[in-house]
Amino acid sequence: MTKQEFKQMVSDRIVILDGATGTLLQQMGMPAGVCPEKWALENPEALINIQRQYIQSGSDIIYAFTFGANELKLKEFGIDDVTGINRELVRISKQASQGRVLVAGDMSPTGQLMEPFGSYSFEEIVNAYKRQVIGLLEGGVDLFVIETMMDIQEARAALLAVKETCNLPVIVTMTFERGGYTINGTDPLTALVTLQSLGADAVGCNCSTGPEEMLGIIKKLRPYADVPLVAKPNAGMPRLVDGKTVFSMNADEFAAFTEKFIEAGVNLIGGCCGTTPEYIQKISKIAKGRKGSECGCKNKNLIISSSCTTVSVGHDLPVCIIGERINPTGKKKLSEELRKGSMDLVVELARDQSELGAQVLDVNAGLPDIDERETLTKIVKTLSPIVKTPLCLDSSSPEALEATLRIYPGRALINSISAEKESWKGYFPLRQNTARLSYFCPLTTLGCRKRQKTESG
């Protein structure tokens, strides 16, 4: 399926997704503690049975049972053949579909933390996902789904893995807690801005909450969405009864929210934990034949984001204050610290400016006798988990910007681009993961200094 075909499909109608699979496999005999993907591979008739029930219930897209089939998850069960297990699981879903519906390659969290909280680098996570992507492609998936993501940086890694391997459509859904944030502190708008800027073809949420809480999230996202929105809620909130997890909503209660989701602007809808083919059948009856919402962001302001904060800039909004103290030009102490590779002063300056009201932090590593690419990347890696304030990447080096944008867990602003024709050629490929180039931004830049504190040099 091409991206254009996907876009046309979700604009022509409400697309029905499937529901839960793992819990149904358990009811069909899958024991606790086994690798679910391996068990499904060894018992294909059980998986085919479930997926055909979803197709009969009205699903337009079924998810291949590859949720935990990434390299790091499979390693926990001593499984090395990542490509093979993904390929064969897709083929089972293809057999179930009989060409009647689309099959999505399903990708989920690795269960591992990235630097600085864990031992895996960003590129190691990207490469782990790429090995899964290759297997899914060999199996013949029509598109990809990256779901139940709690870390925006890991969602970015998975999305990049797909985009750098093929050109199929990609849906990305995050999971938010009752307070409206992921476990790692990302709010829905920040996730949307980051993921649609990076090239996701549809964005939304799944799992975690029931439809009522998820409906509120979709309503908040709609004015800012340039891509179709996705909702795949649980069957209410889970609770433990006699040692078993049960969910609070029956199929009728769950389906009663379908009309509200459509009115809120959802283009793709399904179910997550606790849902069954009965749930999908009931929402399908309500949604089938309905036309999807037209995509297009109604908010025309520039939006910049970190991993957990967004800043809007526009002619009808207050002045955006950008702190420019993290720049070694004319600053002897900062220059010396950067040459030594120390980030202590960078962190101090970032915190000071944020506390004083800077809404965006400009970061610059432009010294004549320094590796700007390495240093700017190190600054961003250091600041991203420490300060919530979005960053403005200040560099005239396309190489430094490319490396930094790749690991920046948000939507950055770019600074220091001249209007010279040759200068532009190096920057256009970088724009997909950035805010509008700062040369065009209606910003007023003000430096933030800590009161009664000066720096010599």
Question: Would you state the pLDDT for residue 442?
Answer: 32
> Both tokens of residue 263?
């009115």
Question: Would you state the pLDDT for residue 361?
Answer: 97
Question: Would you state the pLDDT for residue 421?
Answer: 58
Q: What's the mean per-residue pLDDT of the chain?
A: 90
Question: Would you state the pLDDT for residue 424?
Answer: 52
Q: How far apart are CA 419 and CA 370, in angstroms?
A: 25
Q: How far apart are CA 345 and CA 216, in angstroms?
A: 41
Angle at 228 between CA 409 and CA 52, to 5 degrees: 105
What percent of the chain stands above pLDDT 90? 79
Confidence band, pLDDT 50/70/90 cuts, at residue 418: low
Question: Would you state the pLDDT for residue 296?
Answer: 73
- For residue 457, pLDDT over 50 is answered with no
Rounded mean pLDDT of 254-280?
97
pLDDT digits (tens, 9 = 90+) for 223-263: 999 999 999 999 988 777 777 778 889 999 999 999 999 99
DSSP assignments along 352-372, one per residue: HHHHTT-SEEEEE---TTS-H
Give all domains of the chain, ordered by start, each with its CATH number.
3-287 (3.20.20.330), 302-440 (3.20.20.20)
* pTM of this structure: 0.91
Question: Would you state the pLDDT for residue 420?
Answer: 59
Specify the DSSP class assigned to residue 114: B
Q: Which residue has the tokens 């089972």?
A: 92
Question: Would you state the pLDDT for residue 440?
Answer: 33
Burial class (CB in 10 A: 0-12, 13-18, 19+), 7: middle
pLDDT digits (tens, 9 = 90+) for 298-309: 777 889 999 999
Burial 395-417 (b: 16+ CB within 10 A, else e): bbbbebbebbbbbbbbbbbbbbb
Find the range with the poorest average confidence among 116-120, 332-336, 348-352.
Answer: 116-120
Higher pLDDT, 240 or 444: 240
- For residue 126, pLDDT over 50 is answered with yes
Q: How far apart are CA 295 and CA 302, in angstroms?
A: 18
pLDDT digits (tens, 9 = 90+) for 12-55: 999 999 999 998 999 999 999 999 999 999 999 999 999 999 99
Confidence band, pLDDT 50/70/90 cuts, at residue 419: low
Rounded mean pLDDT of 389-417?
91
Q: How far apart are CA 104 and CA 166, in angstroms?
A: 14
Q: How far apart are CA 47 and CA 49, in angstroms?
A: 5
> Both tokens of residue 265?
């602007």
Question: Would you state the pLDDT for residue 444?
Answer: 37
